[in-house]
């Protein structure tokens, strides 16, 4: 923890174990990357995956985001998982269950082709486990068009909110229901591509994603 990542607001929600960081990052397939561009803040959602002690991002070599990030700017990457609505007896005390993480640092470019392939496989397997080995190899032109960035997980914070409604005693007799409504995200039924040829079956690994 650094002075920048010390959680001051409701510090009892801070979680400092690196395993908790890994769990939050692994559960979140999307991150928001915040940085300053031309003197103004921007915050861009991108797919993200953890590979050991680094966070991986990839995108077009032509994108403003990736060209700027590769130039060595500092970023704050945030992931947010929404787990529930906390219905307290007052609007003031109502809140949400969440797990969130913030990672600070300067991303580095993964430029060697062999390293890039390792990173692309790690990302694909994080998002779509079991699929990489079933896909054709990336083409040279695809690799050339793709920038991969890594952000070392050195400076980070995790905040987890999972408590009951925290109403003051004078509100407990209010005649309204109070409690938590959990939120879950799940996969649906696979929809074949309209131009699917040759009748390949739905891959068995999809069962693992959905169970
Ligand atoms: C789904 C969701 C909804 C939220 N809704 C609200 C809201 O409506 N109003 C509100 O005031 N706050 C809300 N929060 C909490 C919010 O993210 C901040 O934690 C809070 O506003 C305090 O910000 P701060 O900069 O004053 O915190 P500080 O504690 O001063 O921040 C210091 C450091 O703590 C770390 N930190 C702070 N917040 C987080 C976080 N959420 N996750 C990981 N690390 C963190 C960072 O490293 C930061 O640099 C919400 C959080 C989530 C995930």
Rounded to the nearest whole angstrom, what is the distance from the C-alpha of residue 69 to the centroid of ligand 1? 24
Ligand 1 centroid, distance to 177 Cα (angstroms): 27
Exposed / middle / buried, residue 39 (Cβ in 10 Å: 0-12, 13-18, 19+) = exposed
Per-residue DSSP letter, 189: -
- The answer for 40, left when phi > 0, alpha when psi is -120 to 50, beta otherwise, is beta
Are 176 and 164 contacting, i.e. CB atoms less than 8 angstroms apart?
A: no
Buried b (16+ CB within 10 A) or exposed e, 11-22: eebbbeeeeebb
* pLDDT tens per residue, range 127-182: 999 999 999 999 999 999 999 999 999 999 999 999 999 999 999 999 999 999 99
Give the pTM: 0.95
The Cα 154–Cα 64 span in angstroms is 25
Query: Which residues contact ligand 1 via a Cβ below 6 A?
Result: 4-5, 7-9, 80, 82, 96, 98, 100-102, 157-159
> Could you give the dihedral angle defined by the CA atoms of residues 45, 156, 93 and 168, in that order, rounded to the nearest 10 degrees?
170
Residue with tokens 């694909």: 124
Three-state secondary structure call for residue 126: helix
Q: Could you report the per-residue pLDDT of 104-135, keeping only the tens digit for each?
A: 999 999 999 999 999 999 999 999 999 999 99
pLDDT at 78: 98
What is the set of domains in the chain, with CATH numbers?
A: 11-165+199-210 (2.30.110.10)
Please check whether residue 7 is in contact with residue 35, taking contact to mean a CB–CB distance below 8 angstroms: no
Ligand 1 atom closest to 158 (CA): 43
Give pLDDT, residue 211. Answer: 66
Where would I find the beta strands (DSSP E) of the chain?
14-15, 30-37, 40-47, 49-51, 54-60, 75-87, 95-105, 108-110, 146-152, 155-161, 179-182
């Amino acid at each position: 923890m650094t002075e920048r990542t010390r959680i001051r607001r409701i510090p009892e929600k801070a979680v400092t174990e690196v395993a908790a960081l890994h769990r939050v990052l692994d559960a979140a397939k999307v991150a928001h990357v915040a940085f300053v561009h031309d003197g103004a803040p921007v915050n861009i959602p991108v797919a993200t995956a953890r590979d050991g002690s680094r966070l991986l991002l990839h995108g077009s070599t032509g994108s403003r985001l990736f060209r700027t990030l590769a130039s060595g700017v500092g970023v704050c990457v945030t992931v947010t998982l929404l787990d529930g609505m906390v219905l307290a007896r007052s609007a003031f005390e109502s809140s949400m269950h969440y797990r969130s993480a913030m990672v600070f640092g300067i991303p580095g470019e993964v430029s060697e082709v062999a390293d890039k392939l390792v990173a692309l496989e790690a990302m694909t397997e994080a998002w779509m486990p079991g699929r990489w080995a079933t896909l054709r190899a990336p083409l040279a032109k695809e690799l050339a068009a793709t920038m991969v960035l890594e952000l070392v997980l050195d400076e980070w914070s995790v905040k987890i909110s999972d408590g009951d409604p925290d109403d003051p005693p004078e509100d407990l007799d209010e005649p309204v229901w109070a409690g938590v409504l959990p939120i879950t995200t799940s996969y649906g039924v696979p929809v074949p591509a309209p131009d699917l040829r040759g009748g390949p079956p739905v891959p068995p690994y999809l069962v693992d994603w959905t169970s």
